[in-house]
Amino acid sequence: MKARELRELSEEELTRKEEELKDQLFKLKFQHATGQLENAMKLKLIKKDIARIKTLLKENKEGKK
Per-residue pLDDT band at 3 (split at 50, 70, 90):
confident
Q: Could you tell me how many helices (H) and strands (E) the chain has, helices first?
A: 3, 0
What domain range includes position 34?
A: 3-60
Whether 10 is covered by a domain: the verdict is: yes
Query: Higher model confidence: residue 1 or residue 15?
Result: 15
C-alpha to C-alpha distance for 32 and 55, rounded to whole angstroms? 27
Instruction: Calculate what percentage of the chain has a pLDDT beyond 70.
Output: 98
What total number of domains does the chain contain? 1
pTM of this prediction exceeds 0.75: yes
Query: Which CATH number characterizes residue 24's domain?
Result: 1.10.287.310
C-alpha to C-alpha distance for 8 and 30, rounded to whole angstroms? 31
Residue-averaged pLDDT of the chain: 92
